[in-house]
Amino acid sequence: MTAVDQSPVKGLSVPVRPQEAASFEGADLVVLSPGVPADLEVLQSVRGRGIPVVGDLELASWFLKGEIIGITGSNGKTTTTTMTGHILKASGIPVQVGGNIGTPPSSMVRTSRPGQWNVLELSSFQLETISTFRAHIGAALNVTPDHLDRHYTFEKYAAAKARLFENQRSDDFAVLNADDPVTRGYAEHSAAKSKFFSSTQKVEPDAWLDSERIVLDGERLMSTAEVPLRGVHNLENTMAAAIIARLAGATREQIRAAVMSFPGVEHRLEFVRELEGVAWYNDSKATNVDATLKALAAFPGGLWVILGGKDKNSDYRPLGAAMKEKTRGVLLIGAAADKIENHLHGAVSTVKCGTLEAAVLHAHASARSGDTVLLAPACASFDQFENFEHRGWEFKRLVNELPANRLGKN
């Protein structure tokens, strides 16, 4: 490091040092931020000296009071985590929510209490550095290729997600997507009781989609029309949250009422505005190909899709067929634009816009009444933005500043 920002620890007498071997001399324990790769060469030498290397999640779990609910998955974990917390709170069940969403696990220790549920969204980066961490209820929503720039192979990525279940006991629960072969396979490697959800098949006595209704424990929970979120994937998220909440003590009636009042999650298929008959949606949290496919599936067609950002060693070719069916045009931004255009290979009309602002202006000029403009980038944001939230906020600002009354538009 040539420069170090010491602002977070100013006044705390905490030394700030570069990530090099000399800095770890005399250490009894090394705690990693999730953003630091666990396979750095300097950390291998630390482990070689017998010094434990763990992450923030592992450290926090040593001190958290109350039971832990851990929720992971390539997509949907923010929505499911937030919805679970919303249901428990609305049901009068003590709960706090954090993890990979909002509040870090270590910051939840002070506010944790016996008899309280700690609902944690968990990333593969957090799970790969656990040792004794145990969730009383663990949930895996789906596992599709993501973060291959960090984990290198899909198998290693899936194995990191699987660590959520490795320390569970026979009185714990594993909530798993029966339609995903990877998550379904996690049941074979956990001592916990398996609870399944499915949008394609009956998985009695757990949760499944039966035509236009959600069934929980063999009885109707609610109609799909009562779920205030778009897309089948959000019905799957709802089923997972319902199972978790039921295990945590919520009644069927409390779950249904809470789901119906759930406001959704910012940057997840978030409606921004309608302008001259064109609907604008922000799905900035669609940072991988599967998330973008799920976003496309939530709309009937007439889409102008904004794609691109920082590549994560992704394969964008699976987007081709869905894009051809659903889109009027694809607007490319960011560092991955050339790769995405190459992978789509003429399946759809593409325009290289470069920046988000240029893409919004192009969509505004091109879309007609009845169309939808969707930001679902399938990429990380770090080439042009601080994070996906920053990207989503900027999109909403640009959209809300668009003028109405465009001359010559039908």
Residues noted as catalytic: 77, 100, 147
Q: What φ, ψ does residue 374 adopt, rounded to 5°?
A: -125, 120
Distance in angstroms (rounded) separating the CA atoms of residues 310 and 334: 7
Alpha carbons 195 and 123: distance in angstroms, whole number: 21
Residue 246, token pair as written in the block: 């039921």
Closest by Cα among 114, 118, 117, 121 to 140: 121
Please give the Cα distance from 118 to 136 (Å, whole number): 10
Question: Beta-carbon neighbour count of residue 284 at 10 Å?
Answer: 27
Q: 209: which strand partners?
A: 214
Residues 6+ apart with CB under 8 A from 164: 70, 72, 122, 127, 135, 138, 140
> Is the distance from CB of 162 to CB of 190 less than 8 angstroms?
no
Only one residue has tokens 């399938």, namely: 378
Tokens representing 25 are: 């001399």
Cβ atoms 287, 380 nearer than 8 A:
yes
Which tokens go with 293? 């496919």
CA 25 from chain centre, in angstroms, equals: 37
Q: Are 114 and 66 in contact (CB under 8 A)?
A: yes
Relative to beta strand 270-275, strand 327-333 is unpaired
214 contacts: CB under 8 Å, gap ≥ 6:
207, 208, 220, 221, 222, 223, 224, 227, 235, 238, 239, 242
Question: How many residues in the chain?
Answer: 410
Location of structure tokens 């060469």: 41
Residue 360 contacts residue 281 (beta carbons within 8 Å): no
